Amino acid sequence: MNSIEHAVDQHAPYNSQGFFSKVTRWIFTTNHKDIGTLYLWLSLIMFFVGGAMALLIRAELFQPGARIISPEIFNQMTTFHGLIMVFGVIMPAMVGLANWQIPMMIGAPDMALPRLNNWSFWILPFAFALLVSTLFMSGPAPNFGWTFYAPLSTTYGPKSTDFMIFSIHLLGLSSILGAINIIATIFNLRAPGMTFMKMPIFVWSWLITAFLLLAVMPVLAGVVTMMLADRHFGTSFFNAAGGGDPILFQHVFWFFGHPEVYILIMPAFGVMSEVIPTFSRKKIFGYKFMIYAISVIAFLSLLVWAHHMFTSGIPLVSELFFMYATMLIAVPTGVKIFNWVATIYKGSVTFETPMLFAIAFLFLFTLGGFSGLMLSIVPADYQYQDTYFVVAHFHYVLIPGSVYAIMAAIYYWLPKWTGHRYNERLGQWHFWLTVISTNLTFFPMHFLGLAGMPRRIPDYALQFADFNMIATIGAFIFGFSQLLFLINIVRTVRGKGPHVSNQVWEGAHGLEWTLPSPPPYHTFSSPPTIDECK
């Protein structure tokens, strides 16, 4: 407890008095903790923006018939909801966690490239301003889904598409710089004795994710540049009339897109591998195999892109290859699930909010994995593709997967970052409302898809009415329960809630728990000593 007093005045830089210097502190900061905080706030704000769009979509689908938004706005909302949730919520949140945690977990004083770090964050608000500005322009905003398939987005795309293209260029730039920084930090700034095979799995998962980012973000930039050229410079990459091929777009897009979903989920795997051992009071089961499994998943993720295109008429041989490769991903993913269960087995388990989210992750992410396995079977995929079954699948992977992991991570590390315990009762309410409403929203979508409801339609046949109504009710409960999350975070950040010790959680291990809570602004200026027990 004593260390807290002595840390209080050190979690801000020396010159942050007065309004102006408070603002410039955040603009010019090169501190990994500040930048982590900025990323996390951006992500939280975008979570409510993207969520409000989802609620508009669900409100329109509450009953059959034209209701509150026109089909045109509906398509814009599906586009923005997807883009914002992927690029504005999950990715910044994961990068924010990396910024806060990686230096503290490997005993580094900061990120390796602090100025680059500042830039990779501050690109984002401008990128999103560019993207969201299209909603206020006189022509339609991008309205072709977050996958922006050509030729709907090229020859037939609205004028504002070019803004989206430049916005994606900026987002990609930010991600690439962030990835470079993470790799440089992990390679160069580990404390003496922190060998690769002693690193926490969260750090490992981010290292591999960063390499995946470097591999595929340039491809995304490439595909939007090709779009730009098709739209304005007379090329015909995606236009059959000029000798191109619309399917080429899908190949290039999904070569980025599939690894992208693993970029969204692998840091979540890392978070799980910290939270589950802590609350089971036991070391992670199969440390080495967990790392091998992530590496194999990352490698395979580069070889399965065409499973998004089984109905597009790709040749039989490629269908078979991509089916086998996709099925194969189930093996390392299964290994991870089994290892987490084995970590709990013979442990001493308690159920604080982070652990509750981790347990829900284990159940519901596995469910999303099952529907993923079903989707890999090409003939069956002919029926599932582009239906609500797919919508259910990827929401089960992304919400209980990535989003629950982010929530678990916030509840887990927020006491360390702020020095205060969040409100446990509020956390539990948030958890139960979230987990019940997630299932209420997305489980019925499996039935809708199997019964024949296509995705991205603003109105539907009468036979789909009941399940759509249930899904909408679930979505609104989900949306409003997130206010509890916001309240809990704001309370904790503002110092409500009891002080916590360095250790915070009884079962926690790792360098960050040796630091005071909150940690001083600059930590590990001299490297810590790493003992044998990680």
Partner 1 sequence: MVKRIPILFLSLITAPIYAEMKVNMPLGVTPLSHDIYWLHMTIFWICVGIGVIVFGALIYSLIKFRKSKGRIAEDFHEHTLIEIIWAVIPFLILIGMAIPATKVLIRMDNTEDADLTVKITGYQWRWKYEYLDQGISYFSNLATPANQLNNKAPKNKWYLLEVDHPLVVPTHKKIRILVTSNDVIHSWWVTELGIKRDAIPGYIHETWARIEKPGIYRGQCAELCGVNHGFMPIVVEAVSPMQFAEWVKQQTQGKVTFNTDVKLTLSKKELMGRGETAYDTYCAICHKPEGTGMPPAFPALKGDKILTGKPGDEIAIVLNGKAGTAMQAFKNQLSNEDLAAIITYIRNAWGNDDKNKQGPHAGELVQPEDIALAR
Contacts with partner 1 in 438-477 (CB under 8 A)? 446-447, 450-452, 454-463
Q: Are 181 and 202 in contact (CB under 8 A)?
A: no
Is 308 catalytic? The answer is yes
Interacting residue with partner 1 among 176, 217, 272, 323 (CB under 8 A): 323
Question: Residue 40: beta bridge partners?
Answer: none
Residue facing Cu ion at closest CB distance = 258
For 341, the 3-state DSSP assignment is helix
Task: Tell me the two tokens of residue 349.
Answer: 């388990």
Is 236 catalytic? The answer is no
The count of other CB atoms within 10 Å of the CB of residue 495 is 10
Interacting residue with partner 1 among 366, 428, 501, 514 (CB under 8 A): 366
Closest separation in Å from C-beta 332 to Cu ion: 15
The count of other CB atoms within 10 Å of the CB of residue 65 is 10
Compute φ and ψ for 504, nearest 5 degrees: 60, -65
Q: How does DSSP classify residue 403? A: I
Q: How does DSSP classify residue 210? A: H
3-state per-residue secondary structure call for 256-307:
HHHHHHHHHHHHHHHHHHHHHHHHHCCCCCCHHHHHHHHHHHHHHHCCCHHH
CA distance 375 to 41: 35
Interacting residue with Cu ion among 11, 58, 81, 258 (CB under 5 A): 258
From the list 282, 336, 395, 430, the catalytic residue is 336
Closer CB to partner 1, 88 or 151, in the complex: 151
CA distance 209 to 289: 17
CA distance 140 to 158: 6
From the list 206, 254, 262, 505, the catalytic residue is 262
Is 505 catalytic? The answer is no
Closest separation in Å from C-beta 219 to partner 1: 21
CA distance 447 to 290: 34
Q: Which stretch binds Cu ion (CB under 5 A): 94-102, 117-125, 251-259, 342-350?
A: 251-259
> Residue 322 interacts with partner 1 (CB under 8 A)?
no
Closest separation in Å from C-beta 58 to partner 1: 15
Closest separation in Å from C-beta 112 to Cu ion: 32
The DSSP-derived string for 356-401 is: HHHHHHHHHHHHHHHHHHHHHSHHHHHHHTTBHHHHHHHHHHIIII
> Residue 330 interacts with partner 1 (CB under 8 A)?
yes
> Residue 304 interacts with partner 1 (CB under 8 A)?
no
Closest separation in Å from C-beta 469 to partner 1: 15
Q: How many angstroms separate the most distant Cα atoms in the chain? A: 74
Q: For residues 340-359, which are near partner 1 according to CB under 8 A? A: 341-350, 359
> Residue 152 interacts with partner 1 (CB under 8 A)?
yes
Question: Residue 454: beta bridge partners?
Answer: 387
Q: Which stretch binds partner 1 (CB under 8 A): 88-96, 173-181, 369-377, 392-400?
A: 369-377
From the list 26, 41, 119, 146, the catalytic residue is 146
Closer CB to Cu ion, 144 or 202, in the complex: 144
From the list 273, 434, 437, 492, the catalytic residue is 273
Residue type for position 59:
A
Closer CB to partner 1, 269 or 417, in the complex: 269
Residue 428, contacted partner among Cu ion, partner 1, none, CB below 5-8 A by kind: none
> Residue 169 interacts with Cu ion (CB under 5 A)?
no
Interacting residue with partner 1 among 1, 18, 19, 241 (CB under 8 A): 241
Instruction: Say how many residues touch partner 1, by CB under 8 A.
Output: 97
Is 110 catalytic? The answer is yes
Residue 359, contacted partner among Cu ion, partner 1, none, CB below 5-8 A by kind: partner 1
Q: For residues 86-115, which are near partner 1 according to CB under 8 A? A: none
Rg (CA), the chain: 23
Cis status of the peptide bond prior to 458, with omega within 30 of 0: no
CA distance 303 to 336: 20
Is 146 catalytic? The answer is yes
From the list 455, 456, 496, 499, the catalytic residue is 455
Task: Tell me the two tokens of residue 57.
Answer: 């979509």
User: Any idea which residues carry the catalytic annotation?
Assistant: 81, 110, 146, 174-175, 258, 260, 262, 273, 307-308, 333, 336, 455
Residues that bind Cu ion (CB under 5 A): 258
